[in-house]
Amino acid sequence: MRVAIQGTRGAYSEAAARQQWPDLETISCREVSDVVAAVREGRADAGCLAIENTLVGSVTPTYDLLQHAFGEGDLHLSREILLPVHHSIMGVPGAKLERITRVLSHPVALGQCKIWLARHLPDVTLVNAWDTAGSAEIVAREKDPTQAAICSRHAADTYGLAVFDERIEDDPTNQTRFLTFTSAKAEATDGSDGIPRKTSLIVWTDHRPGMLAAVLQAFAGRGVNLTSLQSRPERSAPWTYRFYFDVEGGQNEPRLAEALEAIEALASRIVILGSYAAWQGEGAVVGPVAPRPPHLRTKPDLPMFDRRQHPEGTIVRVGDVEIGGPRPVLIAGPCSVEGEEMILRAAEGVAAAGADMLRGGAFKPRTSPYDFQGLGVKGLKFLAEARERTGLPVVTEVMSWEEVPLVARYADMLQIGARNMQNFALLRAAGRSGKPILLKRGGGATIEEWLHAAEYVLSHGNPNVVLCERGIRTFERATRHTLDLNAVAMVRERTHLPVLADPSHAAGLRSIVPALTLASLAAGAHGAIIEVHPDPDQAMSDGAQSLDIPGFARLAAQIRAMDEVTAR
Ligand code: PEP
Ligand code: MN
């Protein structure tokens, strides 16, 4: 295998290429563009280019070459290789370090050894060479004992030089990322061979608000992980930019193919550079090939929510709290987080009264746009503080898929509210969130629709779903909603997932909340989520249905006492 590299024998590019082709023959090239030309013209079978270094960032000459090299369809990216870069300093045999006056290397390598050079050779002249190994070759050829080269240990052996010191780079984590390519046709990139891939592309966007965000959302909304984003100036159009994306997945894997289709439609231009095998050796960051989306898999005979999948029932763990076991779980707290002091008072109150978890909305779905909409991010921070104080895990609502990563940073469990039960983008994102989900039943949703909403979360990779019956809309006006105990009993039969009741939203008035809580437990609920406010009449939302702290304490005591009776 003839492999073209920028640099000469003993270069880091050669060591990288050897990872893929152990018996390669090196075709030495002066510039990165010569590497591409050598493969294009058939003087080499493959090429290897350095693209990025962990200390100095992008190798810009390579970036500037990518469109021309891989946007034309005749050359194909093959693999990504990560190489630890450990520099050595060397001179002709017999030379003394004290007598060195000039140090040659590639400017990037010289920049990576500043600390060692300042300490050991503060007064030398640093000389830029075209290549690290090339500097070793020069030192060997000129036989001048006052010259030293910085390059790989391997180059010292290649050129018969003596090593003064090894591992002289400023940062031992120093690594360079290389891309190899060939003119052979690319392999399957739909994920069917199980090889984790990455895809690289260049995108140009119109100069309008939100265009770059829209490109990023095309990836994010489908759970495609971004591994690198660089921009380079567009030469012919001052102050405009091209964006280079590296994402996980092969370009024909369904989720990525769909994202690329969307970007093609919204960007002013896109060039897909190609897909290549992601590095799987030490330091690998790309996980296994993502499963195909549920609608492209064979439909299972039994839905994942079906009781027969786990007849013994599922326990969902939120911190140390087990939802779905024999002990009823009590989640308590205000409808909305109204302020720091208020949520701390509420949290301490419900914790002392025996709650297992804290609830509180930071992002609130309010019927009227003129009503209090929640404290947003501040509310999330106050909830996290309340968790620190009390040790109670926190559940809070997330209303849109874009905010799942934000809410998931602060909450222990994500609530999908009644109004969003069939927000499918949100359900899919919840499936990828890695956090347990509290899925409320929509006020007008059938049991079947509710269970299939849960199926979205389950089938997108999240087994930790807890259902919550919170009342449905009936002809009855005396209460806010009607707590559907049929549904509690029914879903216990139909699914292995835990089920909670929310008597507060069902009732709309606090006087019947205790009775509905007890009835829910009798119907088979694994616990209840109850609105509790330190001063319900002053609440900014849902005060009429909120218990005060003593009221919750009485209810909790009653439930724990009953629990002891039934446990005996
Ligand atoms: C809430 O829990 O405060 C809430 C808004 O609930 P739901 O989505 O059930 O109305
Ligand atoms: Mn509420």
DSSP state letters, 354-377? T-SEEE-BSS---SSTTS----TH
> Atom 10, ligand 1: which residue's CA is nearest?
418
DSSP 424: H
Q: Cβ contacts of residue 493 below 8 Å, gap of 6+? A: 307
- Which residue from 371, 373, 415 has its CB within 8 A of the most atoms of ligand 1, so it is best to mutate? 415
pLDDT tens per residue across span 23-35: 999 999 999 999 9
Distances (CA, A) of 325 to 75, 320, 498, 532, 566: 58, 12, 8, 24, 14
Mutate to test the pocket of ligand 1, among 368, 470, 532 (most ligand atoms within 8 A of CB): 470
Whole-number percent of the chain with pLDDT over 90: 91
pLDDT tops 70 at residue 316? yes
Average pLDDT, the chain: 95
Which ligand is nearest to the Cα of residue 481, counting in written order?
1
- The minimum-distance atom of ligand 1 relative to the CA of 359 is 2
Q: In the β-sheet with 102-105, what is the strand arrangement from edge to edge?
A: 125-128, 102-105, 147-151, 88-91, 162-165
Q: Which two tokens stand for residue 120?
A: 């050991």
Phi, psi of 381 (to 5 degrees): -65, -40
Using the predicted structure, report yes or no on whether residue 120 has a pLDDT greater than 90: yes
Q: Please tell me if the CB atom of residue 434 comes closer than 6 angstroms to any atom of ligand 1.
A: no
Confidence of residue 188 (pLDDT cuts 50, 70, 90): confident
168 in contact with ligand 1, CB cutoff 6 A? no
Which atom in ligand 1 lies closest to the alpha carbon of residue 336?
Answer: 3
From the list 26, 176, 189, 396, the catalytic residue is 176
CA-based angle 560:562:566, to the nearest 5? 115
Which residue in 178, 181, 219, 305 is the catalytic one? 178
**Cβ neighbours of residue 556 closer than 8 Å, sequence gap 6 or more:** 330, 332, 353, 354, 355
Between strands 76-84 and 175-182, the pairing is antiparallel
Report which protein residue has its CA nearest ligand 1's atom 1.
335
Give 564 or 451, the one with higher predicted confidence.
451
Which ligand has the minimum distance to the alpha carbon of residue 366?
1
- When pLDDT is cut at 50, 70 and 90, the band that residue 186 belongs to is low
Give yes or no for residue 259 CB within 6 A of ligand 1. no
- DSSP letter for 98, please: G
Residue 363 annotated to the active site: no
> What pTM was computed for the model?
0.91
Ligand 1 touching residue 480 (CB < 6 A): no
Residue owning tokens 């707590």:
483
Residue 534 beta carbon below 6 angstroms from any ligand 1 atom: no
In this structure, the residue with its CA closest to atom 8 of ligand 1 is 417
* Residue whose CA is at the smallest distance from ligand 1 atom 6: 417
Provide the token pair at 86. Answer: 């450990």
314 is catalytic: no
The finding on whether 417 has its CB within 6 A of some atom of ligand 1 is yes
What pairing do the DSSP bridges indicate for beta strands 57-58 and 88-91?
A: unpaired
The 10 Å Cβ neighbour count of residue 61 is 13
* Rounded Cα gap, residues 11 and 50, in angstroms: 11
Q: Decide if pLDDT at 151 tops 60.
A: yes
